[in-house]
Structure 1
Amino acid sequence: MRRDTSNAESEPAEKKAGPKVQGSQTLIRGLDMLDKVIDGPIKLAELSARMSLTRSTTHRLANALIDRGFLTYLPRDGYQLGPKLIQLGFLAQSQADIVQIARPRMEELAASSEDTVHLGRMDGDLALYLDKIPGRRRVEISSRIGDRQPLTSTGLGKALLVDGSEAEWTRLFDADQAHGAPRANRELWFERMRGYADAGHAYDLEENEDQIRCVAAPVRDVSGKIVAAISVSSAAQYMDDERMESLSAEVRDTAQRISTDLGWSPEVRPPRRSRR
């Protein structure tokens, strides 16, 4: 009689795979533990309950993370995140190339909107254009990578300013007007900026270039600080008020996705804006 060897043949493979599975589980538990202490010091009993592990297993795993610097232990308070994570955070931030990180999201936005998408950041008191993806429509947008434009007349520039104080807005508005930016009504500009700050996006209503409109939104880093902005630009004939309003959510969502790629979390609130 032939003996069924299928189980026998599979046993060594399973045994061989066992340590890998166990090792992966330990890694996942370690990463889960870091998530459990992210809000501040936590004692062993509570950490054990959150992890659904015995105290001895939790203690052993926590000690391994302490040895590597990922956790620290405060005798009266419990476990908290360790210095290794600070080091890794700085390294990750320094290695992050915002143009490379943002480009896939920008390409998706350009494809869905069929319009030109820009990425820019502040450079002193100007908006510096870092990247540009042309749209499918036959619309000529004069911007170029490396261009510097006034913050107060471009949608991208205004998106970079939504967290700013009104004192800062005043300084920049007056400086731009004095240095040849397109003429603007002060009261109307400030009224719109307050609305943009509350909405989390900004518009260019043919203020910087005749017959060109855009919708822009800020990009944030891990701290919640605005480090860049993206915009969708097109001819005014494709950008009536209704379309700009409907496009705003898509632009904000793309900006938030890029922000998440940079380490930002929705729980990180932007700095509170002063009205003064």
Structure 2
Amino acid sequence: MTKQVLEPSGEPAEGGGGGVRSVKSAERTIAVLEYLSSAVRACSLREVVTALGMPRASGYALLTTLVDTGWIETDGGGRYRIGIRALRAGAAYVERDDVVQRAQPVMDELHGDLGETVHLARLDGAEVVYLATNITRHSLAVVSRPGRRLPSWATGLGKAILAGRPWEEVDALLPPGLEARTEHTITDRTALRAELEEIRRRGHAVDEQESTIGLRCFAVALDFGSAPNEALSCSIPIVRLSPEREETIVAALLRARARIIR
């Protein structure tokens, strides 16, 4: 006899059958939260259900529930954005993360010494997710907030992490087509492989305006004894750079990495 899977309420789980099965409503909830968290602006019901391939009625019911529970917010005009409870969950993740806790004091000192923006990020699939940021004290700055996701191949942070992995693994990890964020983004696989080999030889990665025009980023991977999954970086507008300044930044990053992984 097949055992029926029940929800905590006693109702049959979606999909029925035996064993552990995914719950469609939970999958849809996660998809909505991930979609809104990556959106650059508030989204309409139509945009959400179209992007996620969801029935309109189900989408509306789910969005209403998430608004009522505080996970998303609405502007009252039919547009939705991520809510404060999602912020609390994200903040709790960062506050309890071992790597962040080890890196943050060193990042604070690095930021104090250099006076430029310092980032810590983690590889998640083919993207890097920013975990912590110390913002430059200069007025001219481009900031990536914690939680922001960017293509790994278009950032110094991502390239530093990818360079610590075999090319076969990197090739399987990346999407078939490499999207360009700027005219400088490396979108050719052969060129990217050569770039990663150069990073391994050099010991640090450089983002040459590949993610943001006018910004150069220097990054080092944090290797804790296995394939690196995190990286530390310093971003600076090219108008404030000189060869001597670049050497200072790279040397400071290498010292910071040694302290974090020690």
TM-score range, shorter chain: 0.5 to 0.7
Return the letter of the residue paired with 2:195.
Answer: R
Structure 2: any 5+ residue segments left out of the alignment? 1-95
Cα deviation per residue 1:218-267 (whole Å; 9 max; x = unaligned)? 1122x34413110000111123444323421210110121111xxxxxxx
Structure 1: any 5+ residue segments left out of the alignment? 1-94, 261-276
Q: Tell me what 1:205 maps to.
A: 208
Partner-residue secondary structure (3-state), 2:260: helix
Cα deviation per residue 1:110-156 (whole Å; 9 max; x = unaligned)? 11111000001111221010000011222221311000111011011
Fraction of identical pairs, as percent:
30
CA contact (8 A) 2:217 2:234 kept: yes
Query: How far, CA to CA, are the matches of 1:191 and 1:172 in structure 2?
Result: 17
Q: Tell me what 1:184 maps to.
A: 186
TM-score normalised by the chain length of structure 1: 0.54
Alignment CA distance shift 1:98-1:185 (3 Å): closer
Partner-residue secondary structure (3-state), 1:226: coil
Q: Tell me what 1:100 maps to.
A: 101
* Deviation of 1:163 (Å): 1.3
Q: Tell me what 1:137 maps to.
A: 138
Task: State how 1:1-276 maps to structure 2 within 5 Å.
Answer: 97-172=98-173, 175=176, 177=178, 179-182=179-182, 183-184=185-186, 186=188, 187-221=190-224, 223-260=225-262
Over aligned residues, Cα RMSD in angstroms? 2.2
Return the letter of the residue paired with 2:130.
Answer: Y
Length, aligned pairs only: 164
Alignment CA distance shift 1:253-1:224 (3 Å): farther
Alignment CA distance shift 1:97-1:248 (3 Å): same
Query: How far, CA to CA, are the matches of 1:147 and 1:256 in structure 2?
Result: 26
Query: How far, CA to CA, are the matches of 2:165 and 2:180 in structure 1?
Result: 22
CA contact (8 A) 1:162 1:200 kept: no
Alignment CA distance shift 1:180-1:188 (3 Å): closer
CA contact (8 A) 1:116 1:134 kept: yes
Query: How far, CA to CA, are the matches of 2:240 and 2:169 in structure 1?
Result: 33
Query: How far, CA to CA, are the matches of 1:168 and 1:245 in structure 2?
Result: 31
Alignment CA distance shift 1:176-1:241 (3 Å): farther
Alignment CA distance shift 1:231-1:175 (3 Å): farther
* Deviation of 1:98 (Å): 1.5
Query: How far, CA to CA, are the matches of 1:142 and 1:243 in structure 2?
Result: 20
* Deviation of 1:191 (Å): 2.7
TM-score normalised by the chain length of structure 2: 0.57
Bigger helix fraction = 1
Cα deviation per residue 1:61-112 (whole Å; 9 max; x = unaligned)? xxxxxxxxxxxxxxxxxxxxxxxxxxxxxxxxxx862212211100111111
CA contact (8 A) 2:161 2:231 kept: yes
